[in-house]
Amino acid sequence: MTWFFFSGLQGKYTGVGSSSLLHCRWILYPLIHLGNLYIYIQTYSYTTIIYIYITVVVFLYAFHIFAIVRLVGGPGRCKGRLEVKHQEQWGTVCKAGWNLSAAKVVCRQLGCGKATLTKKCCNKDTQGEGLIWLSSVSCSGQEENLHYCLSGLEGNNNCTHDEDTWVECEDPFELRLVNGDTRCSGRLEVLHKGIWGSVCDDGWGTKEEQVVCRQLGCRRPIFVPAKLRRKFAPGDGRIWLDDVHCKGQEQSLEQCQHRSWGYHDCNHKEDVVVFCSGKPCRLNPWGLAWREAKKRVPDI
């Protein structure tokens, strides 16, 4: 048995102070499907340390098979020819069997916005060269990683680079809370086509606030009386979203249902204001080697 220290296996947020661990969202990523992985929490008078034990074999195997993807040859990281890395080599994906559900998985894995349906293919300037790793890829659209989709054997296909897959995703869905005391409170704004705009409160509730707080790396939402919410000056300019409906488990507000961008029957007096409790959970940029230490608490 070998020790590895992790802080959120999906590169999410971790906390400072022992209580913050209880509020930060921990996601045991697909590693949990590959071996016997568990969390062990040990508390001392001076320190609280979180260990995750996992065998070396499972650890290396997991990182070996995880499909690393990229989009190249396009106008940005969210548009381009699809390539996957396998056995330390990049190769393309044949478009045979490719559809919008598979594109959704790629866009999600890259942290981009929604996948858009495109018939664009590669010409001599944008087609790949070398290996063609995958073909006949079949996804449900719910997978977190392209590796979990069905496909033909790596490198075993009759495709040419004229059939390389081209994927286009919307830009990453960005949001912010403005005019609050911290970045975890304030009037909600979302970014669309390079312009920030507000969100209408029609149908807005706790589940929608949960998603916003999670996406921002903050803690759970708290109830704030309407009188206090009104202290925030209404926004101006665009009202981008209306009739937003979430289940509460989404990782991004983009995954919730809403009207088409810019369609609404609201004014800025109906702008959404969100308050998330406590200090934000801090991002650990490495995702590894995390341990938490706290000052001694007198024994009772």
**So what's the pLDDT on residue 153?**
63
**So what's the pLDDT on residue 279?**
60
**So what's the pLDDT on residue 58?**
36
One domain for residues 179 and 278: yes
One domain for residues 185 and 126: no
Contact 155, 132 (CB under 8 A): yes
Give the sign of the dihedral formed by CA 106, CA 251, CA 293, CA 182: positive
One domain for residues 178 and 252: yes
- Highest average pLDDT, of 126-130, 219-223, 224-228, comes from 219-223
- Residue at 222 is within a domain: yes
Largest CA distance in the chain: 73
CA–CA distance, 90 with 49 (Å, rounded to integer): 38
pLDDT of residue 152 exceeding 80, the answer is: no
How many helices and strands in the chain, by DSSP H and E?
A: 4, 17
One domain for residues 237 and 272: yes
Return the structure tokens found at 234.
């209404």
Percentage of the chain modeled with pLDDT above 90: 33
If you average pLDDT over residues 223-232, what whole number do you get?
A: 80
- Residue at 73 is within a domain: no
Task: Count structural domains, the chain.
Answer: 3
- The helix/strand/coil state of 134 is strand
pLDDT mean across residues, the chain:
73
Q: Please, which residues have CB within 8 angstroms of residue 95's CB and are 6 or more apart in sequence?
A: 121, 163, 164, 165, 166
- Residue at 206 is within a domain: yes
Give the sign of the dihedral formed by CA 264, CA 211, CA 168, CA 171: positive
For residue 80, with 0-12 CB atoms within 10 Å meaning exposed, 13-18 middle and 19 or more buried, which class applies? Answer: buried
- Residue at 66 is within a domain: no
One domain for residues 180 and 215: yes
One domain for residues 225 and 278: yes
- Residue at 277 is within a domain: yes
Which domain range does residue 246 map to? 174-282
Do strands 195-199 and 239-241 pair parallel, antiparallel, or not at all (unpaired)? parallel
Contact 113, 172 (CB under 8 A): yes
Which tens digit of pLDDT belongs to each residue from 35-91?
A: 334 343 444 333 344 444 333 333 333 333 446 899 999 888 899 999 999 888 999
* CATH code for the domain of 89: 3.10.250.10
One domain for residues 113 and 159: yes
- Residue at 68 is within a domain: no
Return the structure tokens found at 222.
């708290």
- Residue at 216 is within a domain: yes
Bigger pLDDT: 291 vs 279:
279
